[in-house]
Amino acid sequence: MSQLIIAVVVGTALGILFQKGRFCFVHAFRDFFAFKDTRVTKGVIAAVALTMIFWSIAYYFGYYQGFWTPEWGLTGLIGGFIFGIGMTYAGGCASGTLYRAGQGYLHFWLVLASMGVGYAVFTVAFPTLQSTYFEPLTFGEGVTLFEASPIPAPVLAVLVVAAFVVVYATVLGREETKKRATSAADAASVTLVPAATLSGIRSLKDGTVEYLRGFREIDDWRAAAKRPWDPRTAALGITAVAVLWFTQVSIVGITGPESRWTAYILQTAGVDAEGYEYWGSVLFAGEGVSVTVDMVMIAFVIVGAFLAAFWSGDFRVRTPKLQRVPNAVAGGFLMGVGSRLAPGCNIGNIYSGIAELSVHSFIAAGGIIAGVYVMTHWMYRDVGCAI
């Protein structure tokens, strides 16, 4: 019963945070590639970095319930690429689809239904895929560097985050100094390491100070709470509830529970879902098709998003435009299939998987980002992309 309560609390909180922060990985990567817009990207980075540190501490002291460590290989790259293509075409990632469904977008209810079709098709094909896809393309056992590294997990997490900050600061510093340079010679001289790194770190510090100052300058908290939040603010809340979920239940995932919902709905409708190997033996581990705690959690993500949208005045039933229906159907189907071929989605791999330093998730995340990059360039082929 305690886990059920936690599922309701965590799911509702995530729905509120996703909706208020407009926390969608498609926006994070597509907007970055197309326009160099890093607003949501910063939130994703902050959420992953903070979660990595706090999960490493929880693991070090034994307060955790398990990792996401599928076997690694080209399956992660291929499945992730398909998922990245699908979520960009559909217009929303796994988490973005849930919060927009709660916000009243019928387009994303259609995406969810199409993902369910993708889960079902994959399940039917699973026995064949085992021998023709998974076995030949899997190269190693699943592992997280928290367990494999001799370095204590919290120290390793801090080192990884610090290394990323240095790389990010260097890229940021180079971009900013190029914009300020008055000549080609100036640009060449100021984009060298460590000058660019120091410039980027100063920019990060200034941005953080400005972000914190924004809280002190809010004079009407009720009005501010109703407006969309800075994704970094959402990232703080997401980290908090993810730590609660990690210590009490598991890592945060979406498409796995969604696939279980597909099996449960079909079983309720009279289909022998349990008789299919993937659903009966893998996802439900031979314990029968029933509602699990993670299924409850993602259902309440939609509830939380509805509550946040309704309170903020953002809720409205929105009918999709006819020309966008193929995006929902094809994109959702590719998301469902891709998330099972990988396995895992943007939350399972880019957020949770990288936060726990899962080897499989680094490969799958690379595939997802590559898929977003390719599809973004295809969708913006007439106007071009910034990157």
Output the tens digit of pLDDT for each of the chain's 387 residues: 599 999 999 999 999 999 999 999 999 999 999 998 989 999 999 999 999 999 999 999 999 998 989 999 999 999 999 999 999 999 999 999 999 999 999 999 999 999 999 999 999 999 999 999 999 999 999 999 999 999 999 999 999 999 999 998 888 887 777 666 554 555 555 555 677 788 888 888 888 888 888 777 777 777 777 788 999 999 999 999 999 999 999 999 999 999 999 999 999 999 999 999 999 999 999 899 999 999 999 999 999 999 999 999 999 999 999 999 999 999 999 999 999 999 999 999 999 999 999 999 999 999 999 999 999 999 999 999 988
Asked whether residue 118 is domain-assigned, the answer is yes
Asked whether residue 18 is domain-assigned, the answer is yes
Asked whether residue 101 is domain-assigned, the answer is yes
Contact 24, 93 (CB under 8 A): yes
Q: How many CB atoms sit inside 10 A of residue 315's CB? A: 17
Q: Who contacts 291 (Cβ-Cβ below 8 Å, separation ≥6)?
A: 264
Asked whether residue 384 is domain-assigned, the answer is no
Asked whether residue 189 is domain-assigned, the answer is no
Q: 217 burial class (0-12, 13-18, 19+ CB within 10 angstroms)?
A: exposed
Asked whether residue 178 is domain-assigned, the answer is no
> In the prediction, which pLDDT does 224 show?
72
* CA–CA gap between residue 241 and residue 243 (Å, rounded): 5
**Token pair recorded at residue 373:** 């990059």
Asked whether residue 228 is domain-assigned, the answer is yes
Asked whether residue 176 is domain-assigned, the answer is no
> In the prediction, which pLDDT does 206 show?
87
Quote the pTM value.
0.93
> In the prediction, which pLDDT does 192 show?
59
| Residue-range definition of the domain harbouring residue 19 | 2-159+201-379
Q: Who contacts 165 (Cβ-Cβ below 8 Å, separation ≥6)?
A: 49, 201, 204
> In the prediction, which pLDDT does 1 show?
59
Q: 170 burial class (0-12, 13-18, 19+ CB within 10 angstroms)?
A: buried
The CA–CA distances, whole Å, from 93 to 22, 36, 228 equal 11, 19, 19
Supply the Cα-derived Rg of the chain in whole angstroms.
21
**Token pair recorded at residue 202:** 């100063």
Contact 72, 323 (CB under 8 A): no
> In the prediction, which pLDDT does 153 show?
97
Number of domains in the chain: 1
> Among residues 236, 241, 245, which one has the least CA distance to residue 66?
245
> Beta strands 72-73 and 138-140: pairing type?
antiparallel
What's the 3-state SS for 226-264?
HCCCCHHHHHHHHHHHHHHHHHHCCCCCCHHHHHHHHHH
